[in-house]
Structure 1
Amino acid sequence: MKDPQFFQDKAILAPTLEAVEMINTYMLGIIAAPEHEYLSSESVLRSDEDSEIQGEWLTTEFLNDTKSSRMPNHKLFVVDTQIMLLRNIDKATGLCNGTRLIVDGLGERFIGATVITGTNVKDKVHILRTN
């Protein structure tokens, strides 16, 4: 699993978010590595007072239960394995949507990883929590 070339041309496709969660849970269960739990922020930026969204809908429970293919779940479990970025973090260093990395360090506010695809293969990076 630590061989970057093994993952460069492989992916698991699933038709629904429920199937993705089942596969992720199964895979986390068979990987013999310590996992680290990361939680999302539990508040909303209120930058626009004229927003059409009613603030009372944005409760902590609602935010934590929201699931979308465009954002990670409230609880994200990460182990020392391959991950894929879901958004652009730093285009200049090649940390873009779809970049694959192998995790090699888990901290309270960061994930350390090695890039395995793109132009910056073998670069060591730290992905910082932004909230």
Structure 2
Amino acid sequence: MTVQIPNEMLIQTTGNKIEALVQNTYPDFQNRFSEPDYLKERAILATTNEIVDEINNYMTKLLPTPEREYLSADSISKCLDTYNDATILYPIEYLNTLNANNFPTHRLLLKIGAPIMLLRNLNQSLGLCNGTRLIVTNLGDNVIEAVIITGTHIGHKTYIPRISLTTKPAHWPFTLNRRQFPIKVCYAMTINKSQGQTLSNVGLYLKKQVFTHGQLYVAVSRVTSRKGLKILIENEDGSCGSQTQNIIYSEILKSI
């Protein structure tokens, strides 16, 4: 089903699409980049992790603070029956390129002042839950110091360690072990990851159309007011559009 987006919600530009999104969603960013209330109330949403990473990298570069790189230690699970063969077929360099949903990347670029989101439950009693957002305040060798800006422990300082994580998407013939900080920069996030978030300013970037039932509804319902929602639809030719697809499985609605 095709949906026509009202003109007052659209971002139209002939220039850099990400720059236009940032200007609309994070106005006056250079002066307010370190304000917790400013950061926790806004986010850019997109359909895929690749687009989200592109936006987060763009915004991280805007921060005037020094950058630090953290690389993961990747391996294939030894519980695999064909472990020896797998280590030959899938070298470390290949494992480093792999990404999965709700999983940290091999190369993590961070700056003090950047907002991050936890990808795992670390300590629920301290408010360190999957989806909690924080602001980086210090970058150590083995821990990251951050202040919580959402959830039940707002304002508390905490320390995030590297942990070992495993994942095995259906299209991988092995289980990937990755030792890395369980976080992602979160100026932007995927629509699916935004579930449960409440925001006053949302920029929705539809470079790629929504692809599951109710995904468009989840995106637009994150924002608390119509005024705070801006949508940039990118057509295949690179121009800005005004229509987008909404995926609805009528079978689901009929069964209710």
Q: Normalising to structure 1: TM-score of the pair?
A: 0.87
Given the alignment of the two structures, is residue 89 of structure 1 paired with residue 122 of structure 2, yes or no?
A: yes
Residue 127 of structure 1, CA deviation = 0.3
- One-letter amino acid of the counterpart of residue 146, structure 2: A
Q: How does 1:5-44 map to 2 (within 5 A)?
A: 5-44=37-76
Partner of 1:126: 159
Name which of 142, 151, 158 aligns with 1:109: 142
Q: Aligned equivalents of 1:18 and 1:115: distance in 2?
A: 26
Partner of 1:55: 86
Partner of 1:3: 35
| Alignment size in residue pairs | 130
Q: Secondary structure of 1:12's partner?
A: strand
Q: Aligned equivalents of 1:79 and 1:68: distance in 2?
A: 23
**Percent sequence identity over aligned pairs:** 41
Instruction: Give the greater-gyration-radius structure (CA).
Output: 2
Q: Secondary structure of 2:146's partner?
A: strand
Q: Aligned equivalents of 2:119 and 2:47: distance in 1?
A: 17
Q: Secondary structure of 1:29's partner?
A: helix
- Relative to its length, the structure with more strand (as a share) is 2
1:82-127 deviations in Å (ceiling 9; x for gaps):
1111111111211011101111000111100011111111111000
* Stretches of structure 2 lacking an aligned partner (at least 5 in a row): 1-32, 164-178, 180-256
Q: Normalising to structure 2: TM-score of the pair?
A: 0.47
Which 4+ runs in 1 deviate beyond 6 A? none
Q: Secondary structure of 2:105's partner?
A: coil
- Matched-pair contact (CA < 8 Å) for 2:76–2:86: no
Q: Secondary structure of 2:76's partner?
A: coil
1:12-57 deviations in Å (ceiling 9; x for gaps):
11122221222122112211111111111133341x25479x5234
Partner of 2:101: 69
Residue 2 of structure 1, CA deviation = 2.1
Q: Aligned equivalents of 2:41 and 2:60: distance in 1?
A: 21
- Matched-pair contact (CA < 8 Å) for 2:68–2:139: yes
Cα RMSD (Å) of the superposition?
Answer: 2.1
